[in-house]
């Protein structure tokens, strides 16, 4: 099964061979054949970091950095993995490359299970799948010339001849748009963009099939970002590379990705071709991401969906759909009807009580009778909810708060105002738009006629 791996780079691999190998890689465009088209396929990938306490280091909890994600990178394509900071993108990259050991899940690379690789196979895999970081400084030893760092993977993987290494390095530095003389310069003499180009040259030294790029342009000036994205596009075409591009920047995904997977708090919430996902986003999280990008067109209608609040703690993720604590479209309980965003505001109050408890000292309420009003004001909840039954529940809960029994108030709200978004985990399913999303809105939309 593993005889496809040889563990050394041919010491005689000449620049010509490498170049012609690269040139002949033109026909590695994505193919339709489902089995053959997938270079990397990730299923149920999970990475939990234990939280330990005491001198016995007992596990008292887990940071669910990546919590069962599925995606594939097809040959010759660029898949974008997008999401806010802290949602597990880098952990996903490190786990699938086995720089970190995954807690669970399978990772298939060219048909083989990466999680089962022996050390020798892992070494071979690392030649075929290269990682590029946000901060190119990490790829370079500040005390040695750039050329030496670029050539280092060749040396590690067995290219003993210094002349050969130098030839490959020269070729690659030129290929990424750098003067070959850059070889003898030190990292601090290079600009950020030049350094990222050199980091790409280094990643390409072993002629990889897959590049995993973690925020490759995020640290660069906007004008330089465009140049590097252009370069990535070129390299991909010339070498038939497959790329997994991790970013929090929608612009980057739009510019160079073919398909995109949207990640939120350790899970994938939407997946599909870039134009479909961003053109017709099906998950409220994706909609919020799309809306949060300022449009260059001043005539464009104002966008009012915004991502508010922070990503919740990955050690204690919300139940059901993890986005429900922030979702502008969180589904109201069936028994009540709410107007406009009344329901979201009542949910905000619920979420705050459940997360932080009740602290009356922060409210500007001079006497007891003002507390309920002050709470409403704080959460922008109207003096009277539009639906009488819902108002009755809220009033009862607020009375309990005023009476000092915040636990009872919290419980009452949780019981009466339970939403499917918190009680059931949505699955990533095909939507009417032709791509997949994990959101209860699609399930309810199927079952109920449109209003
Ligand atoms: P992203 O790359 O999307 O910004 P990360 O993968 O870096 O997100 O982090 C995801 C979550 O995992 C965060 O809550 C982060 O604090 C946590 N995390 C990342 N690395 C570790 C680690 N080595 N130990 C414990 N927690 C970690
Ligand atoms: Mg990261």
Query: How confident is the model at residue 227, as a pLDDT?
Result: 94
Assess whether 245 and 390 both reside in one domain: no
Say how many Å lie between the CA of residue 63 and the centre of ligand 1.
8
Query: How confident is the model at residue 451, as a pLDDT?
Result: 40
Ligand nearest to the CA of 135: 2
**Does 177 sit in the ligand 1 pocket, CB within 6 Å?**
no
CA distance 96 to 47: 10
- pTM recorded for the entire structure: 0.87
Taking CA atoms only, the protein residue closest to ligand 1 atom 11 is 65
Assess whether 223 and 362 both reside in one domain: no
Assess whether 56 and 192 both reside in one domain: yes
Say how many Å lie between the CA of residue 171 and the centre of ligand 1.
37
Name the token pair of 230. Answer: 């252009």
Which one-letter DSSP state was computed for residue 426?
A: P
pLDDT of the chain along its 451 residues, tens only? 333 333 334 433 443 444 444 444 444 444 444 446 899 999 999 999 999 999 899 999 999 999 999 999 999 999 999 999 999 999 999 999 999 999 999 999 999 999 999 999 999 999 999 999 888 888 899 999 999 999 999 998 889 999 999 999 999 999 999 999 999 999 999 999 999 999 999 999 999 999 999 999 998 998 899 999 999 999 999 999 999 999 999 999 999 999 999 999 999 999 999 999 999 999 999 999 998 876 666 565 555 455 777 789 999 999 999 999 999 999 999 899 898 789 999 999 999 999 888 887 777 766 776 888 999 999 999 999 999 999 999 999 999 998 889 999 999 999 999 999 999 999 999 999 999 999 999 986 554 544 4
Assess whether 253 and 360 both reside in one domain: no
**Does 52 sit in the ligand 1 pocket, CB within 6 Å?**
no
Assess whether 366 and 236 both reside in one domain: no
Residue 359 maps to a domain:
yes
Q: Which residues pair with 43 in a beta bridge?
A: 106
Sign of the Cα pseudo-torsion (119, 121, 127, 128, in order): negative
Taking CA atoms only, the protein residue closest to ligand 1 atom 17 is 65
Residue 20 maps to a domain:
no
Taking CA atoms only, the protein residue closest to ligand 1 atom 21 is 49
Residue 436 maps to a domain:
no
Neighbours of 37 (CB within 10 A): 15
Structural domain count of the chain: 2
Query: 257, 291, 326 — which closes off a domain?
Result: 257
CA distance 406 to 397: 8
Assess whether 109 and 236 both reside in one domain: yes
Q: Measuring CA to CA, how many Å separate 267 from each of 147, 148, 428, 442?
A: 39, 39, 10, 18
**Does 205 sit in the ligand 1 pocket, CB within 6 Å?**
no
| DSSP code string of 40-56 | EEEEEEEEEEEEEETTT
Query: How confident is the model at residue 444, as a pLDDT?
Result: 61
Query: How confident is the model at residue 285, as a pLDDT?
Result: 96
Neighbours of 450 (CB within 10 A): 4
Using alpha carbons, select from 322, 329, 344 the residue that is nearest to residue 423: 322
Residue 170 maps to a domain:
yes
Query: How confident is the model at residue 34, as a pLDDT?
Result: 46
**Top mutation candidate among 47, 60, 61, 63 for ligand 1, by most atoms within 8 Å of CB:** 63
CA distance 239 to 229: 15
Taking CA atoms only, the protein residue closest to ligand 1 atom 20 is 91
- Name every residue whose Cβ is closer than 8 Å to that of residue 427 and which is 6 or more positions away in sequence: 438
CA distance 100 to 45: 12
Residue 209 maps to a domain:
yes
Sign of the Cα pseudo-torsion (332, 333, 334, 337, in order): negative
Assess whether 207 and 350 both reside in one domain: no
Residue 321 maps to a domain:
no
Assess whether 352 and 239 both reside in one domain: no
Q: Which residues pair with 130 in a beta bridge?
A: 211
Strand ordering across the sheet containing 38-53: 58-74, 38-53, 104-109, 112-113
Domain of residue 98, CATH code: 3.40.50.300
Residue 82 maps to a domain:
yes
Say how many Å lie between the CA of residue 77 and the centre of ligand 1.
26
Assess whether 112 and 213 both reside in one domain: yes
| Residue range of the domain that includes 386 | 342-418
Residue 330 maps to a domain:
no
Assess whether 224 and 353 both reside in one domain: no
Query: 212, 242, 257 — which closes off a domain?
Result: 257
Query: 223, 257, 291 — which closes off a domain?
Result: 257
């Amino acid at each position: 099964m593993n005889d496809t791996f040889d563990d050394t780079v041919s010491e005689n691999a000449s620049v010509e061979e490498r170049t012609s190998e690269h040139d002949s890689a033109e026909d590695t465009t994505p193919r339709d054949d489902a089995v053959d088209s997938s270079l990397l396929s990730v299923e149920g990938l999970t990475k939990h970091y234990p939280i330990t306490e005491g001198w016995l280091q007992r596990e008292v909890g887990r940071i669910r950095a990546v919590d069962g994600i599925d995606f594939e990178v097809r040959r010759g394509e660029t898949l974008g993995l997008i999401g806010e900071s802290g949602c597990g993108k880098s952990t996903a990259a490190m786990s699938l490359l086995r720089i970190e050991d995954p807690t669970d899940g399978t990772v298939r690379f060219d048909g083989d299970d990466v999680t089962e690789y022996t050390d020798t196979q892992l070494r071979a895999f690392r030649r075929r799948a290269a990682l590029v970081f946000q901060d190119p400084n990490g790829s370079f030893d500040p005390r040695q010339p750039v050329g030496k760092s670029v050539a280092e993977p060749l040396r590690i993987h067995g290219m003993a001849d210094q002349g050969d290494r130098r030839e490959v390095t020269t070729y690659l530095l030129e290929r990424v748009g750098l003067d070959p003389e850059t070889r003898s310069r030190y990292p601090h003499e290079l600009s950020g963009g030049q350094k990222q180009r050199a980091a790409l040259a280094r990643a390409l030294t072993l002629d990889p099939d897959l590049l995993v790029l973690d925020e490759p342009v995020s640290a660069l000036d906007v004008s330089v970002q465009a140049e590097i994205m252009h370069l990535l596009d070129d390299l991909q075409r010339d070498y038939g590379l497959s790329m997994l591009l991790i970013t929090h920047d929608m612009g980057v995904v739009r510019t160079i990705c073919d398909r995109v997977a949207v990640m939120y708090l350790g899970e994938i919430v939407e997946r599909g071709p870039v134009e479909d996902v961003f053109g017709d986003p099906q998950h409220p999280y994706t909609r919020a991401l799309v809306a949060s990008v300022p449009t260059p067109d001043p005539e464009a209608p104002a966008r009012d969906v915004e991502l508010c609040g922070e990503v919740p703690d990955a050690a204690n993720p919300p139940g059901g759909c993890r986005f429900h604590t922030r979702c502008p479209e969180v589904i109201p309980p069936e028994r009540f009807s709410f107007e406009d965003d009344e329901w979201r505001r009542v949910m905000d109050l619920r979420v705050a009580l459940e997360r932080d408890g009740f602290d009356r000292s922060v409210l500007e309420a001079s006497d007891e009778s003002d507390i309920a009003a002050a709470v409403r004001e704080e959460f922008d909840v109207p003096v009277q909810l539009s639906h009488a039954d819902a108002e009755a529940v809220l009033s009862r809960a607020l009375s309990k708060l005023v009476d000092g029994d915040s636990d009872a108030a919290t419980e009452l709200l949780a019981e009466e105002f339970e939403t499917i978004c918190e009680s059931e985990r949505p699955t990533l399913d095909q939507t009417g738009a032709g791509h997949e999303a994990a959101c209860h809105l699609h399930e309810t939309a199927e079952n109920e006629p449109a209003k």
